[in-house]
Amino acid sequence: MEAQVQSNSVEEFVVGCILAIKTTLGEEFQAQVITFDPSSNLLILHILRIIYNLYIYIYNEYAIYFFHFIVCKFFNFYRKIQEGVKSESGPKRNIRLLKANYIKEFDLLGQGEDPLDVNKCFLDLNTLQAREDSAIRQAEIDAERRIGVGVTAEAQSIFDALAKTLPVRWDKTNIVVMNEVHVSSPYLPENVTGGTAAANERVRKVLEFEKKRLQARGAGQ
Amino acid sequence: MGCRKEGLGEDANNKAAMADSVSDALLLATMCIIGLPVDVHAKDGSVYSGIFHTACVNNDYAIVLKKARMIKKGNRGTNVMNGRLIETLIVQSEDLVQVVAKGVPLPANGITGYVGGDGVEDIADINECLKREVKATELNESNGDKRHRSQTRSSAKKESGLDYISTAKKANVSANSARDFSETQEALAVSVDGRQLGNGSQEKQINCSDKPEFLDERTTYEVRGSSLSSACETQLTAAERIPDETNMQRKPKGVSSGCPAPLDYEMQQRPSLEEIPCSEAPASDVSVAATTTVDVASQSFLNSSLTSTRSVPPNVSSFNRTAKESKLNPGAKLFSPSLVHHRSVTPPAVPTGASVAYLSDHHAMVPITTAQQEVDISSFAPRSSVPVKFFPCSNVVIGNGGTEIPYVQPIIGQVVNRTPPGRYAGQYHNLQARPAYVHPNPQNIMVGRVGPLVCMHPISNDVVQGSAGFSQATMRPLLTQHHLPKHQGSATAQALQLYMNPPIIASGQQPFAMPSPNPISQPFFPVIQPVPVPRSNGFFSTKFA
């Protein structure tokens, strides 16, 4: 699974060259080499375009119910990436630090300039720290919001399951999905109310699926 | 970390090193993604999403995530529950496949975005005063140029050779201490120049050309170490350069005639300088005070880290220095910069102060504040000499089977800045020793508290840190508002409020005795720090679990 790239080919990771990379985890993307660090064997890539994304796997288990949803999402994502390619010189980039020994194969697509301008390499530690702090704070707030107050463990696991694919929040003991569909206790498909018909239907299906899954897990234990 | 050590050894010129060395680019990329949400793919196919906290770049590349969450299960069993929030997740190098970060603001795209919003005005002010001062000192400069240069050279040697010079000598020769003081100041001034050079400011470049060799050294430190000086920072430190420079002009004369003269001069000079930007730019004042003291502190710590026997003399010498200063200038003038400095110590703390209560991971909470400070001040040498040790904080280590692997390697990023507590103690000690000579002020109480900290207790570090953080909170009411609601009802909140009153008054620079709030808050103080955080931690974690 690993170590497909021989050490002698390491020199091919010239800074600035544009590669099409397939990883052993099944991802495929085109990226420009920002740098390669031989000691840690890390390749730092500026992602230009994602051809096949691992994230589709993440939603795999919901694929049956959500296929169109995923496709939409993926399509949007892809479009965003395309835009990202256009605005290559824009302020934000998608970066990956990839261990070189997880590259299954790669093709050289071209040679670009060094993406890092050494003369402009400034970082503000204050900014970094502020960024991290606010991110952590945000994460905590989010995490707190994910926890329902006065709800059963089962309700929480349903919520967590829904949260994997959809934007959800608690409204007291009700789960609000996509700000429109309400799921009230005892969180059966028939407790799903509100929202557009499609959204409602979607939530129902997930709920059904989740219930089954939780039951199966409970039985398994 | 590793590469900075290298740099110290090689004495390489920084630009080439920066361009050639790959690990510098890796460092940079790592720094760029700090604080961003990243997805980390592990070897078994699992994917963790969290906030990139730091990384270890000692040969292999391990990373630390905060608030991590597994978003995809791997094909091997792990000790991480799917969907649960993990406070701190360490992904070991061998488990790491890739780190995916989106929306990374790579610095190559310009630095304008990095200047803090409120810093801009300050900079303008400082620049103004800078120009004025430069003009004022130009005449002197031409006179003192030769001596000036030679002295920088010697100070450069001293700085670089700190490890080797027997410190006892320094400490024993009392006259030397004063000169030392001036020298370290110069050194710092030069280092500031180095930064400015990087920043592309023309005035400083001229100055830099006077002392090229030293510049090299300094800049290497800078680049190797944190390597990251913001535009804002540099500007601020630039302001500090002025007093230093003026001092430099006078120092040689003063030394020949006797050391008190220059010191006194310097003391008088400073407040006058500060008066100009005072209202707008406390940060500039800050750097003035900060450099002197901190550098002293760093020296002493370096020595102490080298050999335990030597650790005493340098401290004494630094004491002498501060003592002299205060004697020479018994007025409040001396005090005001240090007060300002206190304020200044806190600004970087803002986020920390706010996050202290939130972070249930006590390791994360500890040193960020001063670490920041330190980086600003560019006293790198001591840091390299002491690898960061306190990172046994792995709540969870990915890796099938392995839990709680102590993490003793040096770590860059935030953690790099976390030097051992002793150093902070020393630093604070020096800072707060100053007011001790002058005022019966709230801060004196701090002195009493901080003094013992020199014995290097990790907890004491917390305490000091916390004090900075909380006092900070008062300055940014927004954050405190964030802060308090979370803890309302708990003892923590009350304790916080109690404590937060004094700094307001302290920052007013009034010699208030502050009898009532302080005594109340003080006894709580040591208790507060260790207790509430774990408590809140427990509270949240049970909630999360």
Please give the CATH architecture assigned to the domain spanning A7-120: Roll (2.30)
Q: What is the pLDDT of residues B11-59, one digit of tens each?
A: 334 444 443 445 777 888 888 888 888 989 888 888 888 899 988 877 7
Closest CA to A46 of A13, A3, A6: A13
Kindly state whether residue B503 falls inside one of the protein's structural domains: yes
Could you give the CA distance from residue A58 to residue A26 in angstroms, rounded to a whole number? 13
Q: Which residues pair with B39 in a beta bridge?
A: B49, B100
Of B83, B230, B359, the CB nearest to A124: B230
The reported pLDDT for the residue numbered A78 is 52
Mean pLDDT, range B176-195, rounded to an integer:
39
The CA distance from B35 to B12, in Å, is 31
Confidence of residue B143 (pLDDT cuts 50, 70, 90): very low
Residue B526 has pLDDT above 60, yes or no: no
CA distances from B41 to A93, B85, B131, B412 (A): 19, 17, 52, 21
Q: Which whole number is the average pLDDT over B475-497?
A: 39
- Nearest neighbour of B83 by CB, restricted to A99, A120, A160: A160
pLDDT at B47: 86
User: Within 10 A of B309 (CB to CB), how many other CB atoms are there?
Assistant: 10
Verify that B282 and B180 share a domain, yes or no. yes
Q: How many beta carbons lie within 10 A of that of residue B257, not counting itself?
A: 10
Could you give the ipTM of this predicted complex?
0.72
pLDDT at A167 over 50: yes
Sort out which chain A residues have CB atoms less than 8 A from B43's CB and list them. Answer: 2
pLDDT at B210: 39
- Rounded to whole angstroms, the Cα distance separating B385 from B541 reads 36
Residues spanned by the domain of B502: 349-390+435-544
Query: Is B67 in the same domain as B131?
Result: no
Res. B358 pLDDT band, cuts 50 70 90: very low
pLDDT of residue A10: 45
Same domain, B453 and B332: no
Q: Which residue among A24, A122, A137 sits closest to B230, beta carbon to beta carbon?
A: A122
Does B339 lie in the same domain as B224? yes
- SS3 (DSSP) at A49: strand
- Taking Cα atoms as reference points, which of B415, B414, B443 lies closest to residue B429? B443
Q: Are B417 and B368 in contact (CB under 8 A)?
A: yes
Q: Are residues B240 and B313 in the same domain?
A: yes
Domain end: B345, B364, B382, which one?
B345
What is the per-residue pLDDT for B296?
34
Can you tell me whether residue B191 is helix, strand or coil? helix
Residue B341 sits in the same domain as residue B356: no
3-class SS at A204? helix
Q: ω before A186 within 30° of 0 (cis)?
A: yes
Same domain, B340 and B353: no
Is residue B144 in a domain?
yes
CB contact under 8 A, B109 and A139: no
Across the interface, of B59, B98, B104, the residue whose CB is closest to A102 is: B98
Which of A5-14, B153-162, B232-241, B315-324 has the largest mean confidence? A5-14
Asked if residue B465 and residue B353 are part of one domain, the reply reads: yes
Final residue of a structural domain among B316, B345, B374: B345
Q: Checking DSSP bridges between strand A168-171 and strand A192-193, what pairing results, if any?
A: unpaired
Q: Mind listing the pLDDT tens digit for each residue in A89-107?
A: 446 778 888 988 888 888 8
User: Taking the alpha carbons of B222, B225, B229, B233 in that order, is the dihedral positive or negative?
Assistant: negative
The number of folded domains in chain B is 3
Rounded CA separation B545/B81 (Å)? 10
State the pairing for strand pair B396-397/B85-91: parallel
The answer to whether B76 contacts chain A (CB < 8 Å) is: no
Is residue B42 located within the same domain as residue B159?
no
Q: State how beta strands A181-183 and B96-104 pair.
A: unpaired
**Beta partners for residue B63, in sequence order:** B55, B91
Q: Which residue, among B190, B222, B301, has the nearest Cα to B7 in the 3D structure?
A: B222
Query: What CA dihedral angle connects A210, A211, A212 and A213, to 10 degrees?
Result: 50
Between these two residues, A94 and B437, which has the higher pLDDT value?
A94
Q: Give CA–CA dist B542/A168, Å, rounded.
A: 22
Q: Which residues contact B407 (CB under 8 A, 6 or more apart)?
A: B56, B62, B90, B391, B392, B393, B394
Q: Do B60 and B183 fall into the same domain?
A: no
DSSP class of residue B449?
H
Residue A37 pLDDT: 83
Residues of B in contact with A139 (CB under 8 A): 50-51, 66-67, 85
Same domain, B43 and B177: no
Estimate the crossing angle of helix A197-220 against helix A153-165, to 10 degrees: 130
A79 burial type by CB count under 10 A (0-12 exposed, 13-18 middle, 19+ buried): exposed
R_g of chain A computed on alpha carbons: 22
The domain boundary, picked from B83, B107, B131, lies at: B107
The rounded percent of chain B whose pLDDT value lies above 90 is 1
Pairing relationship of beta strands B47-56 and B412-413 according to DSSP bridges: antiparallel
Contact call for B33 and A95, based on CB within 8 A: yes
**Which chain A residue lies closest to B21 (C-alpha atoms)?**
A37
3-state secondary structure of B469: helix
- B interface test, pick of A45, A128, A146 with most B CB neighbours within 10 Å: A128
**Secondary structure (DSSP) of B232-294:** HHHHHHHHHHHHHHHHHHHHHHHHHH-THHHHHHHHHHHHHHHHTTTTT-HHHHHHHHHHHHH
In chain A, positions 76-135, which contact chain B (CB-CB < 8 Å)? 89-99, 102, 115-118, 120-135
Q: Is B83 an 8 Å CB contact of chain A? A: yes
User: Which of helix, strand or coil describes residue A135?
Assistant: helix
Residues 6+ apart with CB under 8 A from B286: B236, B340, B341, B343, B344, B345, B347
Q: Would you say residue B415 lies in a domain?
A: no
> For chain B, what percent of residues have pLDDT higher than 70?
14
pLDDT at A203 over 60: yes
Q: Are residues B237 and B300 in the same domain?
A: yes
B366 in a structural domain: yes
List A23's β-bridge partners, or say none.
A103
3-state secondary structure of A175: strand
B32: CATH:
2.30.30.100
Structure confidence by residue, pLDDT tens digits, B101-117: 888 876 654 433 333 33
Angle value at C-alpha B482, between B481 and B485, nearest 5 degrees: 80
In a domain, B116, yes or no: no
Q: Which residue of A has its CA nearest to B15?
A: A118
Nearest partner of B123 among B253, B243, B238, B39, judged by Cα: B238
Which two structure tokens, joined as six digits, stand for B69? Answer: 């969450």
Average pLDDT for B450-459: 37
Q: Is the pLDDT of residue B504 over 70?
A: no
Q: Tell me the mean pLDDT in the region A163-177.
A: 82
Distance CA B247, CA B34 (A): 39
Domain ranges of chain A: 7-120, 148-220
Going by pLDDT thresholds of 50, 70 and 90, the confidence category of residue B67 is confident
Instruction: Please check whether residue A62 is in contact with residue A165, taking contact to mean a CB–CB distance below 8 angstroms.
Output: yes
Instruction: Decide: B466 and B432 in contact? Cβ < 8 Å.
Output: no
Give the one of A44, A123, A147 whose C-beta lies nearest to B31's C-beta. A123
For residue B106, what pLDDT is reported?
A: 66
3-state secondary structure of A174: strand
Nearest to B35 by CA among A129, A124, A104, A24: A129
A213 touches chain B (CB under 8 A): no
Tell me phi and psi for residue A183, to 5 degrees.
-120, 120
For residue A2, give the nearest of A98, A99, A101 by alpha carbon. Answer: A101
Q: Is residue B330 part of a domain?
A: yes
Higher pLDDT, B190 or A94: A94
Specify the pLDDT at position A188: 82
